[in-house]
Amino acid sequence: MPIRDLLQAQIEQMGQAIGKMISKFLGLKNDGKMEDAMSVTQAAMQEELELDFDKLLNSDQATFFLFFKDKPYSAESLELLSTYFYEVGVYKKAEQPEETLLILQKAIDLLTLADQVENSLSMERMGKKQKIEQLMRR
């Protein structure tokens, strides 16, 4: 099987895992179980994607970008991860404003990475970034 096909299969598999994780997160969130949603999602991130939420959160931007640079994430997958960071940031805004800024900045960084993966700018992602930036200023 050519390397390109293997890479495409990895990208699709990773996208499916992220999609399931975010779907489960949003389901629990909508049921009013945000703490459970965060713990289940972060455990899944660690087990299935080898993503440590706290480590990503506390990394500087260069390290954060470097981590994702050679990984097979599609722009769609990065956008889904950004959605997770955004939702967690919104949830924690009232009680943990400093941590919220870090979380929301990572949501923006993930959208920036999605632009880089596609090698283009998306108006939708630009709108999401603006929305997050406005939330950060409040």
The 3-state DSSP class for residue 32 equals coil
Inter-residue contact 72 to 10 (CB < 8 Å): yes
Q: How far apart are CA 85 and CA 47, in angstroms?
A: 18
- Return the C-alpha torsion angle 100, 103, 90, 44, nearest 10: -130
Q: How far apart are CA 1 and CA 34, in angstroms?
A: 42
Encoding tokens for residue 34? Answer: 């945000």
Encoding tokens for residue 116? Answer: 């880089």
- 8-35 pLDDT tens trace: 667 677 777 787 888 888 888 888 899 9
- The pLDDT mean for the chain works out to 88
Sign of CA pseudo-dihedral 56, 61, 67, 71? positive
Query: According to the model, what pLDDT value does residue 129 have?
Result: 97
Q: What is the pTM of this model?
A: 0.87
Q: Which residues contact 78 (CB under 8 A, 6 or more apart)?
A: 68, 110, 111, 113, 114, 117
Q: Has residue 3 got a pLDDT over 80?
A: no
pLDDT over 90, % of the chain: 54
